[in-house]
Structure 1
Amino acid sequence: MTGDSGVLIVDDEPEVVETYRKHLADSYSVRTVQSGEAALDALGEWVDVVLLDRRMPGMHGDEVLERIHERGVDCRVVMVTAVDPDLDIVTMAFDEYLVKPVSGDQLRETIDRLLRREQLDAQIQRIVEVGSKLATLEAKLGYEQLERSDRYAELREEFDQLREETTLGDVNEDPYLEATVENIDALLPERT
């Protein structure tokens, strides 16, 4: 992606923070902090992605994650931690979970994937919204009535155009996108 995308690195280990910063500084606008409290102070509109350690003294990463969402900060969160995932992660609102050690390539690939998701989310939401309306109309109204409706034709045209213009890339590289595409495709019956 670009250096315009803001990444906040949160880890209590200075060596880890510096290593991650070196790996990412060429590609993103990077800031680093070494505590949960400092992370919350550093949050702002500039943050697109937060790389968040779970196990830190003082405020743990889990609590930082909760506070990020309580504040309504519009960013993606990647848990980057030595804590192996367990069932406790089911209720946590993060976007990705990486277990240390992680390479610079892993960090960049994850951040890029999340930034692509962010960009696609608005398009996908509109596709789903329009698709839901079409599916409802097609399930409840007769074919002849739909064929006579200019409003239905416009909605159908918008849906087809959105599907054509929305580039999802290689969905096999991102399970989120793969599932989204499957859900969009299942939304509508085949056009007759």
Structure 2
Amino acid sequence: MTGDTQPSSTVLVVEDERKLADFYAKWLSEAHEVLVAYSGKAAIQLFDESVDVVLLDRRMPDTTGDEVLEHIRSSSSDPGVAMVTAVKPSVDVVSMGFDEYVVKPVDKEELLSLTETLLRRAEHDEAMRRHYRIASKISLLEENLSGRELAASEEYTRLQEELDAIDDELSVADELSAEDVGALLRSTDGEQ
């Protein structure tokens, strides 16, 4: 984009803590068009095909982030979605359609990096995006569950098998950025 000051992407921030949502919006507005929803209901009303990235809190009083995520994934649009939440992840995240899961607090640098990562991944085909989603969930579970819990988890085993199947289909090494290679390595550290 030469000389153009218009943001090329739209980020929807969904956060019921108004001050926090406003901080996120301020941080992101330097590089992106930002829409802010202070509730799940407002997020559903604001969401449309122009949204490229959604930063979504899980715990909200009216409509939960999980419900908003289901609404987003049932649409014809496929934005990058990061859960940015105080809710510690558990095995329940396996069935959720997010791309990344970040536990608060997050700082400006982390939020900007997360947004850029999701935008970069949107440029890949569906198989590669599935690969990232699954690798992210595996990494998340490995960071938050004990070895015993992982060994006993059918969901974790299923994710590992699904990732292996995708890896068999894809030749990913040439397409990955250094940051994405790091994410993949973190997701497989527990296998060694």
Residue among 168, 175, 179 paired with 2:176: 168
Look at both structures and tell me which one has the larger radius of gyration over its CA atoms. 1
| Number of equivalent positions | 141
Task: Read off the aligned partner of 2:23 and give its amino acid letter.
Answer: T
User: In structure 2, what is the Cα distance between the partners aligned to 1:71 and 1:123?
Assistant: 19
Q: Following superposition of structure 1 onto structure 2, how do residues 117-136 of structure 1 map, counting pairs within 5 Å?
A: 117-121=121-125
Contact 1:120 1:168 in 2 (8 A): no
Task: Read off the aligned partner of 1:95 and give its amino acid letter.
Answer: D
User: In structure 1, what is the Cα distance between the partners aligned to 2:119 and 2:46?
Assistant: 20
User: In structure 2, what is the Cα distance between the partners aligned to 1:3 and 1:18?
Assistant: 18
Distance apart, 1:167 and its partner CA: 4.9
What corresponds to 2:51 in structure 1? 47
Could you say what secondary structure the match of 1:88 adopts? Answer: helix
User: In structure 1, what is the Cα distance between the partners aligned to 2:108 and 2:182?
Assistant: 18
Distance apart, 1:168 and its partner CA: 3.1
Q: Following superposition of structure 1 onto structure 2, how do residues 135-174 of structure 1 map, counting pairs within 5 Å?
A: 167-170=175-178, 171-174=180-183
With normalisation by structure 2, the TM-score equals 0.66
- Deviation readout 1:99-146 (Å, 9 max, x if unpaired): 000011111111111111111226969xxxxxxxxxxxxxxxxxxxxx
- Deviation readout 1:44-85 (Å, 9 max, x if unpaired): 121000000000001010111111111232211100000000
Task: Read off the aligned partner of 1:173 and give its amino acid letter.
Answer: G
What corresponds to 1:14 in structure 2? 18
Contact 1:113 1:174 in 2 (8 A): no
Superposition RMSD on alpha carbons, in Å? 2.8
Moved segments of 4+, more than 3 Å: 122-125
